[in-house]
Amino acid sequence: MSAQRVSLVRNVTASWLTHAASLAIGFFLMPFVLHTLGDSAYGTWVFITAIASNAGLLYLGFGDTIGRYVAQYQSRREWDRLNEVVTLIVTIYSSMALLALAVAALLALFAPSLHDWTRTELFEVRIVILLLGLTVATGLAGSAFGGVLVGMRRFDVERGIAFAGDLLRLALLVLFLKRESGLIIIAAVFLAMTIVDNLAIVWWAFRLVPQLSIRPRYLKWSVLRECLHFSGFALLNSIAYQLIYATDTVVIGCVFGAAAVVPYQIALRLCQMLRQPITKIAEICMPTAGALHAQSDRGTLQRMVVKAMGVSFLLAAGLFTGIYFFGDQLIASWVGDEYADSQLLLLVLFGGQLIALPVGVLRSTLFGMGAVRGPALVYLAEAVCNVVLSLILCQPLGVFGVALGTVIPIFVFEAGVLLPYGLKRIGLSPWPMFRDTVVPQLLPLTALIAYAMSVDATTTSHADWFSLAAITLGGGVALATGWLAHSAVQRHLDLPPP
């Protein structure tokens, strides 16, 4: 048990530290690349990579499958069964890699129909598409071995390789990126680092599992049927995720041109960075919910959901408050004053996270309980509605309409469908859940809003990193003070804590 605890602490610590460091690298890299390339070239890069990101569907939901079965068979020392699963998925991903290359070749051939490029731009775009195709193919071919690391619970190794790759990618871009042929340089760096990362992953997989073997004799139809049964709903979630988070920039690029993608991408990237730490709460809930459900401990499960949803809502609402009062100064410090329009887009996009992040806890809990069909179908319906609304609203409202097309389905499907469905499955009533999840956060949030209003009223500008860091620290103190005050009131009234 002691060794398991040490392993858990090692993995969790490594995952959080490397994740935070990777976010910091990405936070620095985006404005550097933007200002080096310029709006037009950077918008073209985002537009092309948004199209390329749809290659994630080629994983067919097998990413979670290989991690699950490797963990299962490794713990039982059933090495032949483990090799059957890994060989099958390596074969599937290798086939998908060839498909990715073919699709990249077709996209490069028909690139003129994607946008009105100049002759020089068209040549560069075609090279970039081919390089990204090679990058996707390389990632597909090697990702099965990344699943082996996950199945072995060696998140420290997996995240360590990713972090080292991020550092080297940063160094190469800082050294070699320039405006001339900048898109080709970026694509070449990404390809080179994908090759290096995957070689390291393959080496570690065979080192950690000496019994690992990829042989034609391990290919069996029965294993394919077993894996497909598990991966089907994971594929639905992948499709939904791609539709929600990858189509907006494609819609904007096709309708308004590559340069129009930039202010939206700034808001979207900030939204993703701010929400990622909070999503870790939902990730922790999934395995915990599975264990509690297996033990039929519904009371503990319900308390966990209420507490986790409450913390997610508190953090999301606190960040939203900071964006409302100081988002313009954050964007100015990060990428420059000329992108002030991104604050409104950021407010709209992150406003949807006030619902999506707490309900995400509920979705993860349902997955941990094995109730995957309902959440997957609701998520897919939300994604389809997102695409349709974005296409409808972009004409009268421009880029702002695309943001609305993303947020409206969140409120409709997450709050209107998944929330009541999930509460019913877990056995929670709506009003007690609201009382125990949202009401306890009102006092801390009131203290934070009062603090933000006072700072905003007494100081004219905070467009530097030192001021923003000091404001953030003060906001954390205000939030914690409000929380402690609420806890003191609860104890005084002899009420159970949330």
pLDDT of res. 492: 62
Average pLDDT over residues 173-192: 86
- The DSSP-derived string for 252-294 is HHHHH-GGGHHHHHHHHHHHHHHHHHHHHHHHHHHHHHHHHHH
Whole-model pTM above 0.85? Answer: no
* Least confident window among 73-77, 204-208, 314-318: 73-77
For the stretch 163-181, pLDDT in tens is 888 889 888 988 888 877 7
Answer yes or no: is 241 within a domain. Answer: no
Structure tokens at 424: 């019913």
Answer yes or no: is 24 within a domain. Answer: yes
User: Do 259 and 392 fall within a single domain?
Assistant: yes
Measure the CA–CA gap between 365 and 379, rounded to whole angstroms.
Answer: 15
| Residue 496: DSSP 8-state | P
- Could you list the beta-strand ranges (E) of 120-243: none
User: Do 389 and 261 fall within a single domain?
Assistant: yes
Is residue 349 within 8 Å of residue 403, measured between CB atoms? yes
The mean predicted confidence, pLDDT, of the chain is 81
Name the more confident of 73 and 491. Answer: 73
Answer yes or no: is 440 within a domain. Answer: yes
**Number of domains observed in the structure of the chain:** 2
User: Is the model's pLDDT at 100 over the cut of 80?
Assistant: yes
Measure the CA–CA gap between 184 and 192, rounded to whole angstroms.
Answer: 12
User: Is the model's pLDDT at 267 over the cut of 60?
Assistant: yes
Is residue 145 within 8 Å of residue 202, measured between CB atoms? yes
Task: Give the whole-number percent of the chain exceeding pLDDT 90.
Answer: 18
Is residue 325 within 8 Å of residue 456, measured between CB atoms? yes
Using the 3D structure, point to which of 191, 207, 232 is the last residue of a domain.
232
Q: Given phi > 0 = left and psi -120 to 50 = alpha, else beta, which region is 180? A: beta
Q: Scanning the structure block, which residue is given the tokens 């070749």?
A: 105
For 138, phi and psi rounded to 5 degrees? -65, -45
Structure tokens at 248: 């907006």
User: Do 292 and 188 fall within a single domain?
Assistant: no
Structural domain boundaries enclosing 45: 1-232
For the stretch 48-64, pLDDT in tens is 777 777 777 677 767 66
Opening angle at CA 345, ends 343 and 349, nearest 5: 115
User: Do 448 and 497 fall within a single domain?
Assistant: yes
